[in-house]
Amino acid sequence: MPVTVVIGNPPYAERAEGMGGWIEKGSAATRNDKKSVAKAKLDDFRMPGNGLTEYVLKNLYIYFWRWATWKVFESVPADQAGVVCFISTAGYLRGPGFKGMRSYLRREADEGWIIDLTPEGQTPDVPSRIFPGVRQQLAIGIFVRRADHDAATPAPIQYRSLHGKQADKFRALAQLDLTTGWERARDGLTEPLTPAAGAWDAFPAVGDLLAWVSPGVKANRTWVYAPSAAILRDRWSTLRTSRGTSNFVSNFKVTRDSRVDQGKAPLSGSASVDSTVGLDKSMDGEPDTSRVSYRSLDRQWIVSDHRVIDQARPDLWAANEAARSVFVNEQHSKPISSGPALTFSALLPDMDNFKGSEGGRTLPLLHPDGTPNLAPGLLEGLAAEASIQADHEDLLAYVAGVVAHPAFTATFVDELTTPGVRVPITRDVALWARAVELGREVIWLHTYAERYVDPAAGREAGNVRSGWPMDAQPKSLEAVTTMPVKLQYDDVRGHIVFTDDDGDRNGAWGPVPREVFDYTVGGMNVISSWFKYRKKNPGGKKTSPLDDIHVDEWPHEWTLEFTELLTVLTRLVSLEPAQAELLEQVLAGSLITKDELASAGVRWPETRDDRKPRRKVAANTLDIFGDETE
């Protein structure tokens, strides 16, 4: 007898490759006829050109979704009605890696209902969770296929979210019916299974404006990062000393993409080591190290040897080396609810740069060949549609001025539950100019005065204190004498204080406003995160015994770097009222839609080829940012 209903709560397990059986690998038993190829059923959840994001499909709950939909929609007579209803994690509602799955559901079902059980976001307060021990976002998905299934008409999807504590959500579920209280979700085959609010979907996404997008550097081993290059040299020396012993492989941490006997092509800017042979044959001398943006506003160091980095993203290294680009960092596949919606760096970003969790990506301002990374025709389209004369630097500065502050995130908090930042673009030339000037200062601060330098505007190269009143500048008030253990805020004095093992003061900075101490990016407290990697017993994930190699004495450069971080945050907080006022005026005025810019000649990226980097470096590439050493 055909199975017509599948209801359940499938298990959740990331990195479940190889656990999906014939759903994942294919089987002769699932062929449509004897001559067909044994195609994996999971492939029906994939979409051409979307492969870089589809690692999320290798999860047990996705395998169960695919089995259930095959069982009810495909393994039955064509005129058989059926229902699939699962309560599962909610990543498939919005994530970019699930575009093919959403397309399948809309094509194979005739109607669907989504009940969002965790609109609070990832790791909500325990009293609001349906299952107290589950920190992931959850949703109930109901998909119905009728006997007279119409394959040519995508299924309409209805959506509602349940708020409050667990008991409130249970009461709402008990009273729920399928006819009232629902919002219509987006209609596009691959669009998120959530409603489009207001004009949000009419704005171009930041990934439309900057066509080449890439994950950041993914080392897959944490020992190659450190807040000091000296730490990396000590770790390298320990690894080299362990060659020929049983500890060599465990110290290195062998992965699928990196082994001790494997060579790789050298990375741009790191040609002083021979990376073409394995580490078991060549580890002479000191390691190459490069400054990177490890977390938002946290500059650290990496061993810039391709052999120890699984997915180095060579094109990003080339862009950084050849063009000295700005890197835009976005939490693209997970919701954000606090802090700026984007951050910026002058340094190569880690894949989890934005807030220290998966789902991030980077959008370089420049290609490896030094040319602007913009949608073709974008600047001309702005000029034709609104008489806005701009270059690529102006465009990015506008984005920073409008988007990179907490008021933007608060204004669009509901829209940002569907990940992906969109940018409202004003038609008002005066508002555009104000946003550009604000954004130039924002990016100058985010990049620690390495980009958008303009001494005439008070933005000196390498000096985040320039143009800032002396009495408002955070200063080191007490020296750090031993490795600190804890961090705290003195509300009475307005100081940040480090303490030692005995709880005694061991370093202090001030003046520091409370809102600076509380500054977050996507829920990550920037100051706490910075301190976590530099305290006596560093926090964070560890993948090797080498991670335990740290410093015994507080380096003086960390005092200087922390003072710079506090200065940057203080100045960013001071810009927020002006940015909030600007955003309000932009949204109250006339906006340019994505479709209008397309009509004006902008060619938005649609395929994977549209998003490829331009790699050839011209012989006479100009330094687009000028000489910032003067």
pLDDT digits (tens, 9 = 90+) for 463-502: 999 999 999 999 999 999 999 999 999 999 999 999 999 9
pLDDT > 90 fraction of the chain, expressed in percent and rounded: 78
Question: What is the end-to-end Cα distance of the chain in Å, rounded?
Answer: 80
Residue 425 · residue 385 · CB < 8 Å: no
In this predicted model, what pLDDT tens digit does every residue of 499-544 receive, in sequence order? Answer: 999 999 999 999 999 999 999 999 999 999 999 999 999 998 899 9
Region of poorest pLDDT, from 154-168, 180-194, 592-606: 180-194
**pLDDT reported for residue 626:** 35
Q: Is the pLDDT of residue 619 over 60?
A: no
SS3 content of the chain, % helix, strand, coil (to 5): 35, 15, 50
**pLDDT reported for residue 35:** 52
Residue 586 · residue 426 · CB < 8 Å: yes
Token readout for 307 is: 């052999």
Token readout for 16 is: 């479940």
The one-character DSSP state at 132 is T
Q: Is the pLDDT of residue 617 over 80?
A: no
Q: Dihedral through CA 387, CA 391, CA 392, CA 397, nearest 10?
A: -70
pLDDT band per the 50, 70, 90 thresholds, residue 38:
low
CA-to-CA distance for 595 and 607, rounded, in angstroms?
17
In this predicted model, what pLDDT tens digit does every residue of 337-393 receive, in sequence order? Answer: 899 999 999 999 999 999 988 778 999 999 999 999 999 999 999 999 999 999 999
CA-to-CA distance for 521 and 573, rounded, in angstroms?
13
Tokens 């959840």 locate to: 45
Residue 161 · residue 116 · CB < 8 Å: yes
Q: Is the pLDDT of residue 228 over 90?
A: yes
CA atoms within 13 A on the CB side of 114: 30
CA angle (121, 5, 34) in 5-degree steps: 110
The distance of Cα 96 from the centroid of its chain, to the nearest Å, equals: 12
Helices (H), 154-291: 166-175, 206-209, 229-241, 247-252
Q: Is the pLDDT of residue 627 over 50?
A: no
Mean pLDDT of 44-50: 89
CA atoms within 13 A on the CB side of 105: 31
Region of poorest pLDDT, from 6-20, 27-41, 500-514: 27-41
**pLDDT reported for residue 596:** 96
CA atoms within 13 A on the CB side of 243: 14
**pLDDT reported for residue 138:** 94
Q: What is the mean pLDDT of the chain?
A: 91
pLDDT band per the 50, 70, 90 thresholds, residue 27:
confident
Residue 53 · residue 96 · CB < 8 Å: yes
pLDDT band per the 50, 70, 90 thresholds, residue 28:
low
Token readout for 297 is: 């506003």
Tokens 């959850």 locate to: 138
The distance of Cα 608 from the centroid of its chain, to the nearest Å, equals: 19
Residue 82 · residue 4 · CB < 8 Å: yes
CA angle (542, 544, 545) in 5-degree steps: 105
Mean pLDDT of 251-277: 88
436 torsion bin: left (phi>0), alpha (psi -120 to 50), beta (else)? alpha
CA-to-CA distance for 468 and 68, rounded, in angstroms?
61
Which of 476, 479, 495 has its CA nearest to residue 487?
Answer: 495
Q: Which residue has the higher pLDDT, 362 or 419?
A: 362
CA-to-CA distance for 58 and 552, rounded, in angstroms?
42
Region of poorest pLDDT, from 326-335, 513-522, 597-606: 326-335
Residue 7 · residue 64 · CB < 8 Å: no
pLDDT band per the 50, 70, 90 thresholds, residue 418:
confident
Token readout for 345 is: 């760096």
Mean pLDDT of 242-253: 94
Q: Cis peptide before 511, with omega less than 30 degrees from 0?
A: yes
**pLDDT reported for residue 280:** 92
3-state secondary structure of 215: coil
Q: Is the pLDDT of residue 620 over 60?
A: no
Residue 386 · residue 561 · CB < 8 Å: no
Q: Is the pLDDT of residue 448 over 50?
A: yes
CA-to-CA distance for 96 and 157, rounded, in angstroms?
18
In this predicted model, what pLDDT tens digit does every residue of 216-225 receive, in sequence order? Answer: 999 999 999 9
CA atoms within 13 A on the CB side of 272: 10
Amino acid at 231: I
Q: Which residue has the higher pLDDT, 30 or 286?
A: 286
Q: Which residue has the higher pLDDT, 559 or 25?
A: 559
In this predicted model, what pLDDT tens digit does every residue of 104-135 receive, in sequence order? Answer: 999 999 999 999 998 887 778 899 999 999 98
Residue 344 · residue 400 · CB < 8 Å: yes
Which of 452, 461, 462 has its CA nearest to residue 625?
Answer: 452
Token readout for 111 is: 């109607």
